[in-house]
Amino acid sequence: MLIYAIVTITLALVFYTIGVWSEKIQGSLKKWHLVIFWIGLAFDTIGTTLMSNLSGNSFQFNFHGITGLLAIILMIFHAVWATVVLVKKDENMKLNFHKFSLLVWLIWLVPFLSGMIFAMK
């Protein structure tokens, strides 16, 4: 099960990074970015669930657990908010959404990296 967890978490990183940075480079939120955000969130949720099952299925009240919970909540909010922005067709919001995307992505990297670091001990 560990290999599946590693692969899905890594796919979350790949999809989320592609979505966030392509949105930044292209300068405006597009529908395909939204699809990539939701795919990244799905892989992150699956990977997190698998990792949780491997570690005993309980929330760990530590740095990794707290930042991981914050990151997944932010990813959900990010994907939902991107959906709202595109449904509203607000051009100004589409042009500025990348700022929020980059912040959420940076916060998401913290538990991604801390999971690798703490697992290597």
User: Domain spans of the chain?
Assistant: 2-119
Q: Is residue 8 exposed (0-12), middle (13-18) or buried (19+ Cβ within 10 Å)? A: buried
Per-residue pLDDT tens digits for 76-93: 999 999 999 999 999 999
Per-residue pLDDT tens digits for 12-55: 999 999 999 999 999 999 999 999 999 999 999 999 889 888 87
Q: Is residue 87 exposed (0-12), middle (13-18) or buried (19+ Cβ within 10 Å)? A: exposed
Q: What is the pTM of this model?
A: 0.89
Place of tokens 């690798």: 116
